[in-house]
């Protein structure tokens, strides 16, 4: 198990608005409280999301960006970046790897949080195709792209972005976690962040109970005391 050391900068890369908050909001709240600068990079605008057919589809990207910024701000995250890819159409491409590499070199994080590139057969919702693509493209950006000065050369020659090596990656949505963060005291902040995603959660009357059940199972898996809640990760040393 990796120690819960405080780092200067964390970059969270996810496929959709709300993914970071479902997976890691409690952990992010703790990191921000400890003085870590956290950046969100959201690959798509979630334009295939929502549940209200009366809302024009053309409005969804703006709505979801606004919701994500509000959710992040509620946790103390003020740096939220959007790559603008189409929801439901994400693939691992050279362009996506370059765009994520750009953000890594700009932010220069010590730690990254990503979605699992491996299908989770025990919890299919964690394995949306966009999640898998975002996770794989991000891992390829972590290694080898962001640390290789000769990968995506225009990032260096045209944008002045030097190579950067990320020290560790925390993978969400995996069925083989090795690290559990006690988020019991931040649970209400996780709920607050997710409620900011009104286009996705306003119709979920059981949201709090559902999350409490998920996080209770994580805590039990991690051997935490009864009554505690946890977010779970596979922590990978990428040095």
pLDDT given for residue 33 in this prediction: 97
Write the DSSP symbol of residue 180. E
48: helix, strand or coil: coil
Contact 194, 158 (CB under 8 A): no
Calpha distance 67→134 (Å, rounded): 20
Q: What is the pLDDT of residue 52?
A: 82
Q: What are the average pLDDT values for consecutive 10-residue runs of the chain, which has 239 residues?
A: 77 98 98 98 93 87 96 98 97 98 98 96 86 98 98 97 98 96 98 97 94 97 97 97
CA distances 216 to 123, 145, 147, 237, Å, are 15, 37, 37, 26
* Alpha-helical segments (H) within 43-89: 60-75
pLDDT at 82: 98
Question: Would you state the pLDDT for residue 1?
Answer: 36
Q: What is the pLDDT of residue 49?
A: 87
Contact 129, 92 (CB under 8 A): no
- Domains of the chain, with CATH numbers? 9-237 (3.40.50.10320)
Which pTM value belongs to this model? Answer: 0.96
Strands (E), the chain: 9-14, 37-44, 79-85, 111-115, 168-172, 179-182, 230-237
């Amino acid at each position: 198990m990796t120690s819960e050391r405080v780092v200067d900068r964390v970059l969270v890369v996810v496929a959709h608005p709300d993914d970071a908050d479902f997976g890691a909001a409690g952990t992010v709240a703790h990191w921000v409280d400890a003085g870590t600068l956290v950046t969100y990079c959201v690959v798509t605008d979630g334009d295939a999301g929502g549940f209200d057919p009366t809302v024009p589809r053309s409005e969804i990207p703006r709505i979801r960006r606004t919701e994500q910024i509000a959710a992040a701000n509620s946790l103390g995250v003020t740096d939220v970046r959007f790559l603008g890819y189409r929801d439901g159409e994400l693939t691992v491409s050279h362009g996506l790897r370059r765009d994520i590499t750009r953000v890594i070199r700009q932010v220069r994080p010590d730690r990254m949080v990503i979605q699992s590139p491996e299908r989770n057969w025990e919890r299919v919702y964690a394995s949306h195709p966009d999640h898998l693509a975002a996770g794989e493209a991000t891992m390829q950006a972590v290694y080898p792209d962001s640390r290789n000065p000769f990968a995506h050369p225009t990032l260096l020659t045209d944008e002045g972005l030097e190579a950067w090596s990320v020290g560790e990656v925390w993978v969400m949505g995996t069925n083989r976690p090795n690290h559990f963060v006690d988020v019991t005291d931040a649970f209400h902040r996780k709920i607050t962040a997710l409620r900011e995603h009104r286009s996705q959660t306003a119709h979920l009357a059981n949201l709090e109970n559902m999350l409490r059940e998920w996080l209770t199972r994580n805590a039990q898996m991690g051997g935490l005391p009864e009554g505690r809640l946890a977010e779970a990760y596979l922590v990978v040393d990428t040095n």
